[in-house]
Structure 1
Amino acid sequence: MTISGEEMATSAINNIHEENNTYNFPENNTPVENLTPIQSFYNDQVLFITGGTGFMGKIMLDKLLRSCPGIKTIYLLIRTKKGKNVEQRLNELFNDSIFDLMKKQVPDFKDKIQIISGDCSLLNLGIQPEDRKKVVENTNVIFHCAATVRFDEKLPLAVAINVRGTKELIDMAHDMKNLKVFVHVSTAYSNSNLPEIEETFYKPGMPAENLIKLIECTGDKLGEEIAPKVIGTWPNTYTFTKAVAEDLVKRNGKSLPMVLFRPAIVIGTSKEPVSGWIDNLYGPTGIVVGVGAGIIRCLHADPETVSDLVPVDLVVNAVLATGWKRSQMGDIQDVPIYNYVSSHRNPINYGRFMELNMKYGRQVPSIKSVWCYTITLTKYRFVYELLAFFLHTLPAILVDMGLFVMRKKPKALKIYKTISKFNDVLGYFSIRQWNFHDDNVVDLWKSISEKDKEIFQFDITKLDWDVFFKNNIDGLRLYMFKDDPSTLPEARKRMRKIEFAHVFIKYAVLGLVLYCLYQAFSLLF
């Protein structure tokens, strides 16, 4: 059946803007006895959230404000950025369309938000004494989501945010007399130097205190130079510093009601508050956008390797559930750990991942694409380098020559150097397989009430990847490419012309190669 451009555009709009919830959220005055166990735990509580302006933080704020309207206060740590003060950044945060449904359901949401000006890269989190006193005296629940998630982040900054920031927050938590739960969000790849990762702690590259002192003594420049030796067998500064931070949680958080949550590769929303929302180009999302734009045409990835993807709304639901679960455990010696992954119970490999994205991407191409959808995956580095030369570097040289002739600034080669670096960073993860254990997550799911399973759904086995990637492509077109749905018919027509040109060039090049080979053999024989 052929779908018209108008129908497809309407479908995209509906996917993004429909209210996906099959349940009614409680009103602010709902009696406590009518709340679910998880809702009851967060009712009348004061929360302190770091990383609330980030990708996962936005979904967490939306979910908390919609599903737990009885929350008393949310202290939101925000730093000044790019000349904007914390008030401006808060207004920008809630101007994001991801909060449209929340604003409709909770119109007085701002009454619950209190800004705490600070910065996780600074000593004492950059929090002023009066704000610190307020947070320490009133906080019941901490969600520590702040981190620099760039794989190639410079070591000094990664240490400042991911390690020292965690230490500063744990130190502050020790002064909180009313603290009930402290959830530290890490990553499933914090110990990616190991092939098998259980829900337990592992030895870090070095103790946090030693690492912090090392960076303080060496300074930023020397710290960058010694980074390869410091991180050792870890693939990058991100995973290394997250592993060191986990050791802080183990050692310094023993007397605190802590829980460690490790999500795998966090991607766009599956359902809440809308399907297909995404606001960044990290990891696999960057690949899909690059392929959709017609810029990335080959990838160093094993088609059979499982890409451990987890939608952000399911991640947030699981995080909130772990907070409730930890509150039920009382005083325990060990910090419980939850590996939230998909590879064990609902795996999807890179081959299938690209197949689904290509399938739906071709149905709704971007009006901004410079070439058609085409991608070749290979697990062999040499083959990838060869393909990258012919499919990336050579076309970039030709484009830059054309720009030079037209007296325009060449930029194609620069773009592909960035893509090559991006591919190098991801290559470690796209050709390797890990065996993650997630028994604690399974037990957590079994332990929550049936009503909470509706509201805080995080059972990864219920996720239909085919449906997810259809909605994901619609979301990428709207949120990342910023294409108006009305441009879809024109984009499809334009893409058909590009595909014709692609086929013509491919066979022309093949013919030229065969002709050259024929001439070479004729001279030899």
Structure 2
Amino acid sequence: MERYLDKDKLTPWGDILIAGYGKGRLKCFPGDPEIVHDAVPADMVVNAMLATIVAHANQTSSETIYHVGSSVTNPLNFDTVQKCAYMYFTQNPWTDNNGKHVTVKELTMLKSMASFHRHITLHYLLPLHLFKLVNIICCRAFDGICKNFERMINMIQRVVKLNEPYLFSKSLFDDTNTENLRNAVQGSENDLNIFFFDPRIIDWEDYIVHTHISGLVKYEF
């Protein structure tokens, strides 16, 4: 039986963050700017899967785990992603529904969960409590606004809590088996061209700015 582990580009929540940042909704983010993303473009993941099938085609029984990643061979840290997003949206500002260009600033990094909770309390929870008092005084005329604001805060806290293990993790992922697979594929020049999946050739700044974010804006925004 053949098994593999794969990564699909940047994580989906990473795309959500980029979208929120480009639209001017994301001002800060919890996480270590030096944390390494284990990112690989999706076409390389598919190529690795195909190469795995070919490599094990004549084996009746085998168990090999191939981790398709870049955290060891070509690390991509969050600081690079943030700088690329700032570069892209500064040069290509998003236009909102009112026809106004959205101006982005560099993200404020909250480097611990404690700093994240302080930020949420000072900038969101306290204003919400004050606004609830105003709402009571005004005979609950702003119930809808209060509920929406509270729902947004709860959603942010849930998303951050869900991704906490990844926001501050120092883990790197071993891809020795995948490197051996790449070396085996290199035995045939034709196979190398078809099944290319070496993340070491990726220029992350060029890829993120000109491929990943531009595609995200075109197809998802």
Residues 127-157 of structure 1, C-alpha deviations (whole Å, 9 max, x = no match): xxxxxxxxxxxxxxxxxxxxxxxxxxxxxxx
1:355 aligns with 2:94: no
Partner residue of 2:219 out of 470, 475, 479:
479
For residues 368 and 397 of structure 1, what CA distance do their matches in structure 2 show? Answer: 30
Name the TM-score, length of structure 2 as normaliser.
0.81
For residues 128 and 217 of structure 2, what CA distance do their matches in structure 1 show? Answer: 25
Alpha carbons 2:38, 2:173 under 8 Å: kept: no
Q: Match of 2:4?
A: 261
1:373 aligns with 2:104: yes
Partner residue of 2:206 out of 435, 449, 467:
467
C-alpha change, 1:350 and 1:394, in structure 2 (3 Å) is farther
For residues 65 and 172 of structure 2, what CA distance do their matches in structure 1 show? Answer: 16
For residues 290 and 395 of structure 1, what CA distance do their matches in structure 2 show? Answer: 22
Alpha carbons 1:338, 1:438 under 8 Å: kept: yes
C-alpha change, 1:363 and 1:317, in structure 2 (3 Å) is same
The one-letter code matched in structure 2 to 1:385 is H
Structure 1 residues not aligned, in runs of 5+:
1-257, 269-280, 482-525
Q: Match of 2:49?
A: 319
1:450 aligns with 2:181: no
Q: Match of 2:18?
A: 288
Larger Rg: 1
For residues 454 and 398 of structure 1, what CA distance do their matches in structure 2 show? Answer: 62
Q: How many residues align?
A: 208
SS at 2:14 equivalent:
helix
Q: Match of 2:37?
A: 307
Partner residue of 1:409 out of 138, 144, 151:
144
For residues 364 and 396 of structure 1, what CA distance do their matches in structure 2 show? Answer: 34
Alpha carbons 2:37, 2:71 under 8 Å: kept: yes
C-alpha change, 1:323 and 1:427, in structure 2 (3 Å) is same
Structure 2 residues not aligned, in runs of 5+:
none
Q: CA deviation at 1:301?
A: 0.6
Tell me how large the CA RMSD over aligned residues is. Answer: 3.0
For residues 396 and 476 of structure 1, what CA distance do their matches in structure 2 show? Answer: 33
Alpha carbons 2:51, 2:195 under 8 Å: kept: yes
Alpha carbons 1:298, 1:384 under 8 Å: kept: no
For residues 287 and 392 of structure 1, what CA distance do their matches in structure 2 show? Answer: 19
Alpha carbons 1:360, 1:469 under 8 Å: kept: no
Q: Match of 1:386?
A: 118
C-alpha change, 1:368 and 1:423, in structure 2 (3 Å) is farther
Q: CA deviation at 1:415?
A: 2.0
Name the TM-score, length of structure 1 as normaliser.
0.36
Alpha carbons 1:297, 1:392 under 8 Å: kept: no
Using the aligned pairs only, state the percent identity.
26
For residues 193 and 4 of structure 2, what CA distance do their matches in structure 1 show? Answer: 21
Alpha carbons 2:74, 2:200 under 8 Å: kept: yes
C-alpha change, 1:292 and 1:392, in structure 2 (3 Å) is farther
Instruction: Tell which has more relative contact order, 1 or 2 (C-alpha 8 A, sep 6+).
Output: 2
The one-letter code matched in structure 2 to 1:291 is Y
Alpha carbons 1:341, 1:436 under 8 Å: kept: yes
Q: CA deviation at 1:384?
A: 1.4
For residues 127 and 22 of structure 2, what CA distance do their matches in structure 1 show? Answer: 17
